[in-house]
A and B are shown apart, each in its own frame.
Chain A
C-alpha cells in the first residue's frame, strides 16, 4: 500500500530524513518509535504533503501512485489520514461543518453525491458515543478551547468518519487519560480491516497493549535503524534506545 524508498527530506537547511525506507501493506499495523527529534513527525508530515518539508531524494508510492506528485488535499481524498501530534485550533469554524466538508470532499472525489445531512449527524453521534465524546463538541469551533485529550479524541472522530485506507496517528496517545486511551484504541481497532493500514507513532508500550502492532520500527536520526515485531516495543520499554543505536552503529 505504502512504499517508501530511501526518502530524504529537509526543513530549511537541516536534513531530517536521511534515507528512510518503509513498506506498509494493507491489513497491517505498524508502530514507529524513536527518541525525541528523530524525525517521526517529519515522516508523517512528508507523507501528508506539508510543503515546509522539502523532499530531496527517494520515492514514495501509495497504492501504486507517486505520492510526491499529489497535493495534500489529493492525498487525503485518496485515503491518507494524518492524526496530528498538535491539532490546530480553527476558531469560528464549526466542528461538524469541517467534518462534513471533509467527508463530502472525499465523496466527491469518489464520484459520490453529498452525504445526507441527517444521516451524517446520526453517524457522527454514534461514533462520538463510541469515543466517549459529548455530542456538543460537534457545535464547537474546531478544536477551539479543547483540552489536549479532547483534541486527540477529535482527531480519532475525524478518522472514524473519513474511514481512510492509511491512517497515520502521530502520538495520538499522548495526553490521554486511561479511559480516553481505551476509547481511542477501540476507535482504531474498529477501523482495522484487511484493506486498511495503520501507522502509529508512539513513545509508549501502553498504547500497544490495546492496539497490537504487526511491526515495530525504531527511527533514529532520520533513518529506521531496527524493525521487529511487538516484542521489540517491550524490549525498548525496558532498555531504552541506546542499545539499538549502539547495535546499529556497530
Chain B
C-alpha cells in the first residue's frame, strides 16, 4: 500500500475493516495527514484530540531538526519510519524463556531481575507469563480508593477528556521543538496520572505496573498532574536492556505541580546502545518538562541513563510559582560509540525560587558525553537561587566529556553557583585496589558507584540498587 493510498482511504472515513487491517499489520512507512488521522481513528479518539494532532502535524512540517547538540548521526529519514506498528502477535513471540537469546538472559541475571519478571521483559507470549494482571488490579483498587487516576494515555483521552484537554500541551506546547511537534502529531500511547487535592499517593507509581504497557511504541506521551498539596513519586523505565526495531524514539513528558504539590520523577533508562560500532542503537530524543505552576510547589527529576546510541534529553523545570523548587539529578553513562547530550533547564520566574542541578557524566570507550544546562532568571524572579554541580568521569583515553553551562540572569538579586570537575580513573587507583585483592572490574564499579552516590541516593531504594547494577553492566570491559 503506498502512502497516498492510505491517505485517500483514511480520508474517506473511518471504516472498521480498515482499522482492523492496520491493527494487525501496522501502517506502512511514511508520514502525512492521512497517517495522523489513521492513528487517531485507531484509538477511537474524540474530535478534539484529532484536531490537536493535526495542528501539531502542520506545525511540524514547518520546523527543522535541531542541529546544535554536540552529536553526530546520519539524518533520520522520517518517511521511512512506520508511525504505527502492530502489536506483536503471540505467535511471533517466544513461547518460553528457553527460546530467548541466552545473552539477554545473562544480562537479566547480572542485573538481578527476578525470574518471573524476565519472561515479561523478554516479550514471552502473554498467556505464558506470570499473572501480572492480578497484581495490577489490587494496585489499581488501592489507588482509586484515594482518587488517584493512573492509566494509559489512550484511556485518559476517552475517560478523562476534560483533564487531558486542560493540561495536554500546557507545559510542552506542540511547537516547542521539532521532536515535540512530531510526538504531538503521532504519539502512540503513554501514561496519565492525576493526583487529587491533598492526596499523598500511597505508593510509587511505575510504568512497570501499568496495564497495557506492553506496546507504548516509539512516540510515548506522559502527563502527570499533581493537584494542590498533593504528592507523587513516579518511576519510569526499567534497567533491563530494551531493544526495539524502531530506531527513533521521541517521547514527551509533561508534569504539572499546583500549589504546594510535589512531583518526584525518576527514570532509569537502558535502551540498546548498538554494538561496539554503534550499529542498531536507538536514537532517543525526549522532551521532558515540569511546570511548578503553583506557589510552594516542587518538581524533582532524577535520571540514570545508560542506553541509546544517541541521547538528546533535557528534563527541565519552569519555576513559576513563588517559592517553588526545581531539582535535577542525573547520571549519564556513555560507552563505546555512544553519544549523549543531556542536561537541564531551570527557568526561574516566580519570587524566591530555587533550583539544584547535580549532573554526573561518565564516559568510556570512544563515547562522547555532553552536559548542557541552562539557568535562566527572569526579571521578575526576585531572590532566585541555583546551585549547579557538574562532574565528569573519564575511563580510558579515547572518550570525551564536554560541559556547556549557559546562564541568563536578568534579575540582580539572583545567587547562582556553578562547580565543575573532571576526573579520570587512574591506573594508580586501579593498581591500588588490585593490590588489595579487588579485581579491576570491581574496582571500576566501586569508583563509578562512588562517583554517582549523590544521585543514587535520590532514587527510591530498590531502583537505586538496580541502577547500580546497571551501571556495572554498562561499563563491563570498559578498562583493559
Task: Name A's B-contacting residues (CB within 8 A).
Answer: 48-50, 52, 71-73, 75-77, 81-82, 84, 87-88, 90-94, 97-98, 101-102, 105-106, 109, 141, 158, 162
Determine the distance from Cα of A215 to Cα of B262 in the docked complex, in whole angstroms.
70
Q: State the CA gap A158–B432 with chains docked (Å).
A: 12
| Cα–Cα distance between A75 and B428 once the two chains are bound (Å) | 17
CA distance in complex: A82, B435 (Å): 7
Chain B residues lying within 8 Å of A101, measured Cβ to Cβ, are 436, 438, 442, 446
> In the complex, what residue of chain B is closest to A87 when comparing beta carbons?
B432
Specify which of B428, B436, B451 is in contact with A76 (CB 8 Å cutoff).
B436
Bound together, the chains give a CA A94 to CA B453 distance in angstroms of 10
On whether A72 and B431 interact (CB within 8 A), knowing A88-B426, A102-B437, A158-B436, the answer reads yes
**CA separation between A2 and B384, bound complex, in Å?**
65
Q: Give the chain A neighbours of B432 by CB distance below 8 A.
A: 84, 87-88, 90
Sampled A-B contacts (23; CB under 8 Å)? A49-B435, A50-B431, A72-B431, A73-B434, A73-B439, A73-B440, A76-B435, A77-B437, A81-B435, A84-B432, A84-B435, A88-B426, A88-B429, A90-B429, A93-B446, A97-B446, A98-B436, A102-B436, A102-B437, A105-B436, A105-B438, A109-B437, A141-B450
Report the minimal beta-carbon distance from B360 to chain A, rounded to whole angstroms: 10
Cβ contact within 8 Å between B437 and A92: no
Interface size class of B (residues with CB under 8 A): 20 to 34
A162 with B436, Cβ < 8 A, contacts A88-B428, A101-B442, A101-B446 known: yes
- Interface residue? B423 (CB, 8 A): yes
Residue pair A73, B437 in contact (C-beta under 8 Å)? yes
With contacts A88-B426, A88-B428, A91-B423 taken as known, whether A72 is within 8 angstroms of B434 at the C-beta atoms is: yes
Quick one: closest B residue to A97, CB to CB? B446
Quick one: closest A residue to B428, CB to CB? Answer: A88
Identify the interface centre among A71, A81, A105: most chain B CB within 10 Å of its CB. Answer: A105
**How far, in whole Å, are A8 and B381 apart by their CA atoms in the complex?**
70
Q: Given the known inter-chain contacts A92-B451, A98-B446, A101-B442, please indicate yes or no for A106 contacting B437, CB distance below 8 A.
A: yes
Contact residues of B between 11 and 59, Cβ < 8 Å to A: none
Chain B positions within 8 Å of A105 at CB level: 436-439, 442
- Asked if residues A92 and B450 are in contact (CB atoms below 8 Å), the reply is yes
CA separation between A98 and B436, bound complex, in Å? Answer: 9
List 16 other contacts, CB 8 Å, given A75-B435, A90-B446. A71-B434, A72-B434, A73-B435, A73-B440, A76-B434, A76-B437, A77-B437, A81-B435, A87-B432, A90-B447, A91-B450, A92-B451, A98-B436, A101-B438, A105-B438, A105-B442
Q: Are A73 and B438 in contact (CB under 8 A)?
A: yes
Give Cα A101 to B453, complex, Å. 17
Main secondary structure of the interface of B (DSSP, over half): helix
How many Å lie between the Cα of A105 and that of B436 in the bound state? 8
> What residues of chain B have their CB less than 8 Å away from a CB belonging to chain A?
423, 426-429, 431-440, 442, 446-447, 450-451, 453
Distance of B397 from chain A, by nearest CB (Å)? 16
**CB–CB A48/B437 < 8 A:** no
Is there contact, CB below 8 Å, between B438 and A102? yes
Q: How far is the CA of A106 from the CA of B434 in the complex (A)?
A: 11
List 9 tightest A-B contacts by C-beta distance, closest first. A92-B450, A105-B437, A102-B436, A76-B437, A93-B450, A72-B434, A73-B434, A77-B437, A88-B428
A144 to B, closest residue via Cβ: B450
> Given A73-B439, A101-B442, A105-B439, A90–B450 Cβ distance below 8 Å?
yes
The listed residue with most B CB atoms (<10 A of its CB), out of A50, A77, A92, is: A92
Cβ contacts under 8 Å, A92 to chain B: 447, 450-451, 453
Question: Are the CB atoms of B447 and A93 closer together than 8 Å?
Answer: yes
Report the minimum CB–CB distance from B93 to chain A (whole Å). Answer: 40
Q: How far is the CB of A163 from chain B (nearest CB, A)?
A: 12
Most buried by B among A50, A109, A162: A50
Q: How far is the CB of B439 from chain A (nearest CB, A)?
A: 5
Query: Which residues does chain A contribute within 8 Å of B438, judged by CB atoms?
Result: 73, 98, 101-102, 105
Contacts of A98 in B (CB 8 A): 433, 436, 438, 446
- Could you tell me the distance between the alpha carbons of A134 and B314 in the complex, rounded to whole angstroms? 43
In whole angstroms, what is the CA distance A213 to B74 when docked? 69
Q: In the bound complex, what is the Cα–Cα distance between A49 and B434 (angstroms)?
A: 9
Tell me the smallest distance from the CB of B222 to a CB of chain A, in Å. 33
- Nearest-Cβ distance from residue A150 to partner chain B, whole angstroms: 16
Closest CB of chain B to A63's CB: distance in Å?
A: 16
| Bound-state Cα–Cα, A77 to B447, Å | 20
Residues on B with beta carbons closer than 8 Å to the beta carbon of A106: 437
Assess the B426–A94 pair: CB atoms within 8 A: no
B-side contacts of A48, CB under 8 Å: 431, 435
**A93 vs B427: C-alpha distance when bound (angstroms):** 16
B451 partner residues in chain A, CB cutoff 8 A: 92
Cα A210 to Cα B50 in complex, Å, equals 87
By a CB distance below 8 angstroms, the chain B residues around A49 are 434-435
